[in-house]
Homo-oligomer: A and B are copies of this chain.
Amino acid sequence: MGAHAKPSPPALVDHHCHGLLRTEPGPDAFAALLSESDAPAPSGTTFLDSQLGYAVRRWCPPLLGLDPHCAPAEYLERRRELGPDETARRLLRSTGITDYLVDTGLDDDLTGPEELARAAGGAAWHEVVRLERLAERIADAAGDRAEFLAGLSHAVGEAAGTAVAFKSVAAYRYGLDFEPNPPGQAEVRAAADRWLACRTPGGRLTDPVLLRHLLWSAAETGLPLQLHTGFGDPDLTLHRCDPALLTDFARAVRPTGSALVLLHCYPYHRSAAYLAHAFPHVYADVGLALSYSGARAEAVLAEALELAPFGKLMFSTDAAGLAELYVVGAELFRRGLARLLDGWVGDGAWSAGDAARVAELIGAGNARRVYGLGPG
């Protein structure tokens, strides 16, 4: 894992993000990376007309020598002039992120954790292993069911030795309303038979028995387990991704000692904060939700800060593809949190010392403790 950089803004640990595009995106690809939609914006509209679009236009142009809110075409032209490497370098080094925890399981061709950390000026990096992707890779290589299950078990064990956490996208693949308990061995074998029989290479894992098998295999390693909850692309059905649906799973998995980290959670972030309040092993972030809500990030963060104990909330960008997404994730989080805390301190509701301590916990300290990263 890389060396630690110490930029002047308060240090942040991005406990959930992805790699960067390797090539310069055209205007349509750039806009598409600012939306969770799976189709072009309908005629007469553009994905840039959104809170995220305006946040990118607020924070990124000055880092490339342009005025805030300059025209998108001017920004993209400047981006092309600089090229993807120099753009990434300039943008990432502004963020104050010292540690990147990178989910390496996206299908797209993105840079790996090491390249990302290097582009960021020598930040530290740590891998988060996406369970479904792991299973799909093993299935691509396995000759039969026995080989698949043994290979999976071996790969999970091996990942537990190098990664700092597992990640599940069961929310996209099925929903969070799955059976809470670990499936029996016979059930897993039958599900694996069904899946492997009809699967073509690269085929996605959507079987709920196998998804649960993955979750339980990961939890039993004792590593933290990140779970996508709340909104995302249209593969998911929103109300079936309410983190409250994980309550029975949280109860069942509690004896393993694995921490459950609920990601994004919007618009159910208050429910996620409740789970983090009620269960000692549950944690939450509102990463992606802050970037997408732009000028409203402070308001969303405030809601998460109602019930969540301050030792249970974390920062993430969930950035993928565009270096701009690390910038807006970090800026919106840092400014939103600072404004909330300053308001509460100014009001006398909090002490200044508590506010400073909580800012550090949420920005970095909680992630360092939960993922065992060592001091920053």
Binding site for B on A (CB under 8 A): 35-47, 49-51, 54-55, 57-58, 68-69, 231, 233-234, 237-239, 242, 244-245, 247-248, 251, 266-267, 270-271, 274-275, 277-281, 292-296, 299-300, 302-303, 305-307, 309-312, 344, 347-351, 353-354, 357-358, 361, 369
Contacts and interface: CB of A to CB of B under 8 A. Distances in A.
Nearest to A232: B278
A49 B309 contact: yes
A279 B312 CA distance: 33
A165 to B, nearest CB: 16
A234 B299 contact: no
Contacts of A44: 311, 369
B242 A306 contact: no
Contacts of A311: 41-42, 44-46, 49
A50 B310 contact: yes
Contacts of A55: 349
30 contacts: A35-B309, A37-B277, A37-B279, A39-B280, A42-B280, A42-B281, A43-B369, A44-B311, A49-B358, A54-B349, A58-B349, A58-B350, A68-B348, A68-B351, A69-B350, A231-B307, A234-B251, A234-B278, A234-B279, A238-B244, A238-B247, A239-B247, A239-B271, A267-B271, A292-B307, A294-B306, A295-B349, A295-B350, A296-B305, A299-B306
B280 A41 contact: yes
A51 B306 contact: yes
Contacts of A239: 242, 244-245, 247, 271
Nearest to A332: B349
B295 A344 contact: yes
B267 A40 contact: no
Contacts of A350: 54, 58, 69, 295
A357 to B, nearest CB: 8
Contact of A307 (B39, B49, B293, B307): B293
A186 B270 CA distance: 42
A237 B248 CA distance: 8
B344 A37 contact: no
Nearest to A248: B237
Contacts of A295: 344, 347, 349-350
Contacts of A39: 279-280
Nearest to A37: B278
A93 B281 CA distance: 39
B293 A306 contact: yes
Contacts of A300: 306
Given A37-B278, A231-B277, 14 more contacts: A51-B307, A69-B351, A69-B353, A69-B354, A231-B307, A234-B278, A234-B279, A239-B245, A239-B247, A239-B271, A267-B270, A295-B344, A296-B302, A299-B306
Contacts of A271: 238-239, 267
Contacts of A45: 309-312
